[in-house]
Amino acid sequence: MAVRLLRLGVVLAFAAQAFSTPTPKGLPRRQECAGQSCTIAALSGSSGQPYGPSVAPTGGSDAGDCCILTYNPSAASVLFAEKPALQAECAATKSKMVQKRELDSNVIENIKRAACAPYTLIFARGTTEIGTLGETVGPALSLGLNLAAPGKWSIQGVNYQATVDGDNCLGLPGGSIAAQQLEQVASSCPSTKIVMSGYSEGAMVAHNGVAYASQAAASHVTGVVVFGDPFNGAPIRNYQGPIQTYCNTGDEVCDGEFNISLAHLAYVGIDTTEAVAYISNLVQS
């Protein structure tokens, strides 16, 4: 994945929004996932659909596949059949694999101590973005929601390692943290309406966070709102609520391909403004 283009691409994306034609509007959520988006969502275990594609997904890495099996061992037989050498590779590198991540104890304490807000946004940033909310979509949503309903929102970023290794593991390490964060918020503030959200790798984190949380915690999720989503159109297991997906025309990440283009870097502006209105209506309904 050409994540090294991210910083330049962000600047160009903002310039494109300011000085040229508007960013394409977010596409409606697919009723069903298609192609590699569906395949990798099943491989992650987040969609609740069995992994067994007629065509094996492209991209990724052996280390990433071994990491995936740490979270979704049910895919092992099919994955090992696709890649006969992978089983030995996973066994040999087990101690070096990305381990399941735990929610930071300071985050837990902060959630417990904070006053409960009527609404909570849990947001996961994109690959290489700094800060728990990132530098693009997350801050735009935070600003918009707080302006729309001052004092009504708790905005929380998922403190995970947003790296290419995480992409190759389909957002599962971050998803493990997001699931624990969701469970903690649902337990500490049972009346708050929770919206799970994320951009790019963070979109996979949001899917996985809901899918791997307890069913009791997932029942507190009012909606899932994602941008540049590699799992575009995939359902989330144990969750029947709305999934709003923003995928720009020409964004191949939304096809599960992880090819970074300007379309993938252009969600701040029209799309985030629409998302703020959508989320505001969702939590108030």
C-alpha to C-alpha distances, 54 to 36, 57, 272, nearest whole angstrom: 11, 9, 36
Place of tokens 């947003």: 162
Catalytic residue among 167, 229, 251, 271: 251
Decide: residue 278, CB within 10 A, 0-12 exposed, 13-18 middle, 19+ buried.
middle
Catalytic residue among 142, 167, 176, 264: 264
Q: How far apart are CA 124 and CA 84, in angstroms?
A: 34
Cα–Cα–Cα angle for 128, 24, 134, nearest 5°? 20
| 251 assigned to active site | yes
Pairing of the two strands 221-227 and 193-199: parallel
C-alpha to C-alpha distances, 282 to 148, 262, 275, nearest whole angstrom: 13, 29, 10
Cα–Cα–Cα angle for 281, 29, 217, nearest 5°? 65
* CA neighbor of 176 nearest in space, from 72, 48, 63, 60: 72
Catalytic residue among 200, 220, 229, 271: 200
| 47 assigned to active site | no
Give catalytic residue positions: 200, 251, 264
